[in-house]
Amino acid sequence: MAMRVTPFLQISQAISSIESQSNQLNQLEQEASTGSRLLTPSVDPVATVSVLAENTQNQQLTTYLNNIQPAQTSLNASVSALQQANNIFTQAEQIASQGSNSTNDANTNETLAKQVDTLINSLLSVANTQNGNTYLFGGTASNKAPFSVASSNSAGLPQSIVYNGSAQRASMSIGQDQTVNTLYPGSEIFQQQTRGTTTYQGTTGAAVGTGTDSATGQGTLLVAHTATTYQAGSGIQPGSSSAAADTILGPNGSHKLTVVDTSGTGAGGTVSLDGGPAIAFTNADTNLKVTGPTGSVVYVNTTAITPGFSGSVAIAASGTLSVDGGATSVPINFSSNQVVANGSTGAVTNVNSSNIQSTGTELLTYTGTYDAFQALTALRDDLRNTSGLTQNQQVQAISQSLSELKRVQQGITNVVGEQSDSLQQMQSLSSYLSQSQLNTQKQISNLQAADVTQVVVGLQSQQNIMQLTLATVPMILNTSLLNFLK
């Protein structure tokens, strides 16, 4: 059966056509005004998915580029600070070279020491450098000063400086599966260690043991006397000052006292230590000082000499070792390795005590363990000779400080090189990411952008169609009964 086309049906079709044409015209007008053809996902689902993916990529690239800029700022500030530290150590090495001149007098060395005092304060300032509110050398603990003065000497000057930061590097993401270290731990830069053999400067006979020391920087080994005993038979006894004033040390037989009773009755004669000069004695001497050829001293009591005794008497002299100024000590066992611990820090020094012959103080240098601040304070103290060294020992100590200064400086230089390399890589990466982002944005634009020519043609076409449709509507509305019946 044929369907009759009524005016109502014609009007409905005209209205539907007008709505469709209006929507298409509106779409084209929005494309013209926004420049984008993907106004809704339904316009082109495939292109829409591609645009979403490209936008995600663009956001990632923006994040990476935004991270690179502060990372570069941080590393540039770090390199600049470390170059200042490098200059400090260059100056310190020049001072050490001047200080190692054996012709220097105390006034000259004091002038040099004052210059080192200034360098210590300068280095502390550099080590606590900030970039904005961030400390550059605290690792991940970047909100507080990484270095502080732990103790001062008698003059109120920094003696020990400690690290309070983190041991972990802080890093930032600058690319897919790619990070860069931005904040280095100060301990990694200013406290590098490459432990070597501990050196001893003194005349006690103490030497480096077979164990591994844990102490760092400079230290002192105090070798003290406790008691002297004599082989029986001669009648020799320790003098009243023996325990406190004897300077000899060693196991039984390491030293000998030669007694000659010239009276034959024990009333008088001579005594000598280790082949040294003979000292006259009488049976009234309770505290006779006897000096050996190397300057070692014993005090003897000769009131009970065996009548007619002439011969050598074996001596044993016990003592103690201490690395904390005598606060704690261990008895000398005259072995190839004795562990001597610092009572306050627990740091260990291994001592070969087998050849200890006399009391005294040994200046210890734990080579390769000086941190940046210890290297400078050691140089300053050596210049002021706070350990009471001989001139030759002082020159040797300053020369050792020079070696440590160079080692520390090399460590700082290595870090500068590492950070400079990171900066160079970030510069290249930034250029690559910027170009990648530009390409991504172009791709997004190509997918989204409307074709202006097509939009203009489409607008004109739709307007013409719309006008034609609107022109036919009055004709439908004006249909007469005669036209309808036809």
Calpha distance 219→213 (Å, rounded): 12
Rounded to a whole number of angstroms, the distance between the first and last alpha carbons of the chain is 18
Q: Using alpha carbons, select from 439, 450, 449 the residue that is nearest to residue 54.
A: 439
What pLDDT, on a 0 to 100 scale, did the predictor assign at position 173?
82
- Angle at CA 412, nearest 5°, toward 406 and 413? 85
Q: Which amino acid is at 200?
A: Y
Q: Using alpha carbons, select from 260, 359, 369, 356 the residue that is nearest to residue 311.
A: 260
- Name the residue ranges covered by the structural domains of the chain: 1-35+463-486, 55-194+398-434, 199-365
In this structure, what token pair is assigned to residue 438? 């530009």
pLDDT tens track of the chain, all 486 residues? Answer: 455 555 555 556 656 655 655 555 555 455 555 555 444 554 556 555 555 566 566 577 677 777 788 888 999 999 999 999 999 999 999 999 999 888 889 999 999 999 999 999 999 999 999 999 999 999 999 999 999 999 999 999 999 999 999 999 999 888 777 888 999 999 999 998 889 999 999 899 999 999 999 999 889 999 999 999 999 999 999 999 999 999 999 999 999 999 999 999 999 999 999 999 999 999 999 999 999 999 999 999 999 999 999 999 999 999 999 999 999 999 999 999 999 999 999 999 999 999 999 999 999 999 999 999 999 999 999 999 887 888 888 898 899 899 999 999 999 999 999 999 999 888 876 666 667 667 666 765 555 544 455 545 555 665 556 566 555 656 555 555 555 555
What pLDDT, on a 0 to 100 scale, did the predictor assign at position 237?
97
- Tokens 């989204």 belong to 448
| Cβ–Cβ under 8 Å, residues 405 and 92 | yes
Q: Using alpha carbons, select from 312, 316, 242 the residue that is nearest to residue 275.
A: 312
Calpha distance 90→111 (Å, rounded): 18
Q: Does domain 55-194+398-434 have CATH number 3.30.1490.190?
A: no
**The pTM is what?**
0.69
Helix axes 391-448, 45-99, angle to 10 degrees: 170
Cα 101 to Cα 189, 342, 345, 367, distances in angstroms: 30, 33, 35, 21
